Amino acid sequence: MSAVKGIIFDKDGTLFDFAATWEAWAEAFLLRACNGDRTRATQVGAVIGFDLQSRSFSRDSIVIAGTAGEVATALAPQFPEMTKPALLAMLNEEAEKAPQAEAVPLVPLLTALRDRGLRLGVATNDAHAPALAHLTGAGVASYFDFIAGFDSGHGGKPAPGQLLAFCAATGLHPQAVVMVGDSTHDLHAGRAAGMRTVAVLTGLAEAETLASFADVVLADIGQLPDWLDTLA
């Protein structure tokens, strides 16, 4: 295998803790969309695998790995009075406001990775606007050479389009890039692109679910530097 020259990260569940971010988003969105009616919000939440009472997602929730567009499609029958673009806009507005809990302190980690000469990117099934808002809010957008959402023109994961676009933007061969993510969608995309794959456990998937599709399973992205050292 080629020496690692680039890393492309998933965002939610990888750079940021999934539960801390998206449980708050789901509650805020559902209550807004249902005009504060908690009974109806609970019913609608079940459609996307979210339990409003416990503020938790099921492990098969479409929100975990699906695109924002797929979430909007799943919710559309619940809101026949809204167009899908309007529903998607509401989803994205609430996503931009969602609190972000860094999986590990991002600035020192990304600084260390850049100091190794690595090119860095983000490939998320979130929309580009909230993704950029989250990264900017954390003060790390400038560390990335490439940021793509599902609506950036490269498709969404598990297809490899975003990852190959990162390679095109940086001039790196896929074999010199590592895809890091917390879901099988991330890992399938990495494998399809011809990249090494690293799974992290800061999302909702368990190690046993991810291990078959990853070169290594790490507790979180903070362990990346030590893993990279083992490849030297």
**What average pLDDT does range 119-125 have in this prediction?**
97
Give CA 81 to chain center in angstroms: 30
Mean pLDDT for the chain?
95
pLDDT given for residue 208 in this prediction: 96
Is pLDDT at 30 greater than 80 in this prediction?
A: yes
In 3D space, the residue among 206, 210, 165 whose CA is nearest the CA of residue 186 turns out to be: 210
Residue-wise pLDDT tens digits, 58-102: 988 999 888 999 999 999 999 999 999 999 999 999 988 888 899
Upper half-sphere CA count for residue 149 (Cβ side, 13 Å)? 16
* Mean pLDDT on 216-230: 97
pLDDT at residue 38 is higher than 70:
yes
In this prediction, residue 1 carries a pLDDT of 64
Confidence label for 131 from pLDDT (cuts 50, 70 and 90): very high
Q: How confident is the model at residue 15 (pLDDT cuts 50, 70, 90)?
A: very high
Bridge partners (DSSP) listed for residue 122:
9, 147
46 Cβ neighbours under 8 A, 6+ residues apart: none
Residue 99 has a pLDDT of 84
Q: Say if residue 232's pLDDT is above 80.
A: no
Per the DSSP assignment, residues forming a β-bridge with 185 are none
Domains of the chain: 6-17+102-231 (3.40.50.1000), 20-97 (no CATH)
